[in-house]
């Protein structure tokens, strides 16, 4: 059997053509949270304090690195020998600033990202409230209401919104935004528009589903409806006719009661008429009420967020009640509605055939706005 081999001098030439160590950059990415400072990011890459001082004294534009807010982003790129190569500062409400270092001098470059992008956008920096700061930024009242209606499904403006949070609205020529994005210290909520076959614009999360929830008809497994919604019903305890603004589901004491949709716990208390009662808020306009409970779910308190189907309490007969049942109310903007007749909006989704293009556009908007 004959062996095949390369002559030694050819093998040596081939080895000389292969680099002993391929040069590669070390790329560090950071997203600013509340309480962060640029120097923390800088030192975390192993760079020295002397180099930081040199950077800060190199140009007045370097001082911009000390004026950062939640949602801003940094990239610090090092050479293979771990020396500084480049800093990219991408503030949420301004154009990116590139700082290059050649080992001796710093050079600065600021690109006009807005000029390169087809998007126009409005930044609402929260200092007082969404309504106040959005009006100050020139946002119409109709759009502000739209923002409240949608984002209320995932946040409580009185509890969750903090100074320094931001809303980003991107526009494509319509009166309503192409995208509405909340950027906070703890989470980001992004909604993107999509027009259906009838040309009606709705907003969806990046996964293609609407932010609202579909309501279950009954929040409890019941045997029967013992008393329906009525403008005039004989009250068995008060011995008089009065409106009954809810639906009574008869069930044994201790039967679990579940949230019919995701929402915010607004009220957990004991009242003389309702007995043990829970108020859940769903979005900006809709409130559901659960009365005469025997007890509440363990740990449930005002300010909690609950998921659809999550346990909130147990059927009882507390308050002004003649027997175990759940008194259930639906209120829209404070007006009581009949749970057996009302048709609440269901959670919707972008059609499967249009999902790829929708998600591609959503990713493009987030990329151009430098939001992850």
pLDDT digits (tens, 9 = 90+) for 268-299: 999 988 999 999 999 999 999 999 999 999 99
Q: Is residue 265 part of a domain?
A: yes
pLDDT higher at 5 or 306: 306
Taking the C-alpha atoms of residue 108 and residue 101, their distance in angstroms, rounded to an integer, is: 9
Q: Is residue 343 part of a domain?
A: no
Q: How far is CA 113 from CA 59, 119, 361, in A?
A: 22, 10, 18
Average pLDDT over residues 153-178: 90
Q: Is residue 28 part of a domain?
A: yes
Are the CB atoms for 165 and 182 separated by under 8 Å? yes
CB-based contacts of 32: which residues, under 8 Å, 6+ apart? 68, 69, 70, 71, 72, 73, 74
Q: Is residue 345 part of a domain?
A: no
Q: Is residue 15 part of a domain?
A: no
Average pLDDT over residues 75-101: 88
Structural domain harbouring 72? 23-115
- For residue 15, what pLDDT is reported? 38
Same domain, 80 and 107: yes
Q: Kindly report, residue by residue over 169-222, the tens digit of the pLDDT.
A: 999 878 899 999 999 988 899 999 998 877 889 999 999 999 999 998 889 988
Are the CB atoms for 268 and 278 separated by under 8 Å? yes
- For residue 229, what pLDDT is reported? 84
Residue 273, domain CATH: 2.70.70.10
Same domain, 181 and 249: no
How many structural domains compose the chain? 3
Q: Which of 94, 115, 136 is the last residue of a domain?
A: 115
Same domain, 136 and 185: yes
Weakest mean pLDDT among 22-26, 70-74, 137-141: 22-26
Which of 190, 183, 191 lies closest to 70, judged by CA? 183
Same domain, 238 and 180: no
Are the CB atoms for 254 and 315 separated by under 8 Å? yes
The tokens of 105 are what?
């001098």
The answer on pLDDT for 3 being more than 50 is: no
Taking the C-alpha atoms of residue 164 and residue 183, their distance in angstroms, rounded to an integer, is: 9
Percent pLDDT > 70 in the chain is 88
pLDDT band at 368 (very low <50, low <70, confident <90, very high): confident
Q: Which of 81, 115, 149 is the last residue of a domain?
A: 115
Same domain, 101 and 177: no
pLDDT band at 22 (very low <50, low <70, confident <90, very high): very low
The answer on pLDDT for 41 being more than 50 is: yes
Are the CB atoms for 204 and 212 separated by under 8 Å? no
Same domain, 230 and 333: yes
Residue 149, domain CATH: 3.10.450.350
Average pLDDT over residues 247-262: 95
Weakest mean pLDDT among 18-27, 47-56, 362-371: 18-27
Same domain, 314 and 262: yes
The answer on pLDDT for 10 being more than 50 is: no
Highest-confidence segment of 188-202, 302-316, 350-364 = 302-316
Same domain, 173 and 105: no
Highest-confidence segment of 93-107, 216-230, 279-293 = 279-293
Q: Is residue 132 part of a domain?
A: yes
Average pLDDT over residues 99-127: 79
Q: Kindly report, residue by residue over 233-245, the tens digit of the pLDDT.
A: 656 666 676 788 8
Percent pLDDT > 90 in the chain is 58
Q: Is residue 8 part of a domain?
A: no
Same domain, 235 and 201: no
Same domain, 103 and 134: no
Average pLDDT over residues 28-40: 90
Q: Which of 55, 90, 115 is the last residue of a domain?
A: 115
Taking the C-alpha atoms of residue 133 and residue 248, their distance in angstroms, rounded to an integer, is: 43
Weakest mean pLDDT among 178-192, 217-231, 313-327: 217-231
Same domain, 87 and 32: yes
Q: Is residue 10 part of a domain?
A: no
Same domain, 229 and 311: yes
- 3-state helix, strand and coil shares in percent for the chain, rounded to the nearest 5: 20, 35, 45
The answer on pLDDT for 344 being more than 70 is: yes
The answer on pLDDT for 119 being more than 80 is: no
- For residue 199, what pLDDT is reported? 81
């Amino acid at each position: 059997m004959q062996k095949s081999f390369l002559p030694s001098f050819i093998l040596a030439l081939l080895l000389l053509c292969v680099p002993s160590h391929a040069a590669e950059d070390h790329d560090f990415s950071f997203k600013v949270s509340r309480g962060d400072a640029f120097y923390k990011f800088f030192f975390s890459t192993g760079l020295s304090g002397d180099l930081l001082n040199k950077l800060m004294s190199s140009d007045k534009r370097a001082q911009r690195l000390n004026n950062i807010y939640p949602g801003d982003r940094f990239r610090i790129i090092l050479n293979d020998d771990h020396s500084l190569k480049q800093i990219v500062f991408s503030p949420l409400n301004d154009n990116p600033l590139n700082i290059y270092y050649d080992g001796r001098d710093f050079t600065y470059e600021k690109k006009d990202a807005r000029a390169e992008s087809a998007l126009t956008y409005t930044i609402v920096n929260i200092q007082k409230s969404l309504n106040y700061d959005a009006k100050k930024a020139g946002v119409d009242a109709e759009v502000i209401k739209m923002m409240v209606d949608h984002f209320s499904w995932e946040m409580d403006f009185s509890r969750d919104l903090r100074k320094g949070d931001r809303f980003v609205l991107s526009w494509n020529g319509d009166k309503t935004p192409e995208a509405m994005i909340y950027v906070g210290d703890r989470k980001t909520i992004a909604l993107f528009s999509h027009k259906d076959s009838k040309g009606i614009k709705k907003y969806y999360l990046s996964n293609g589903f609407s932010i609202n929830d579909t309501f279950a008809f009954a929040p409890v497994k019941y045997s029967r409806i013992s008393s329906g919604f009525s403008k005039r019903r004989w009250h068995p305890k008060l011995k008089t006719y009065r409106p009954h603004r809810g639906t009574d589901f008869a069930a044994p004491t201790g039967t679990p009661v579940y949230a019919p949709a995701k929402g915010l716990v607004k009220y957990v208390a004991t009242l003389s008429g309702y007995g043990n009662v829970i108020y859940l808020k769903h979005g900006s306009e809709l409130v559901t009420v659960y009365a005469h409970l025997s007890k509440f779910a363990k740990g449930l308190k005002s300010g909690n967020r609950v998921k659809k189907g999550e346990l909130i309490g147990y059927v009882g007969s507390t308050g002004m009640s003649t027997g175990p049942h759940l008194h259930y109310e639906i209120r829209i903007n404070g007006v009581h509605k009949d749970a057996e007749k009302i048709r609440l909006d269901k959670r919707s989704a972008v059609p499967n055939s249009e999902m790829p293009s929708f998600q591609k556009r959503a990713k493009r908007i987030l990329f151009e706005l430098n939001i992850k």
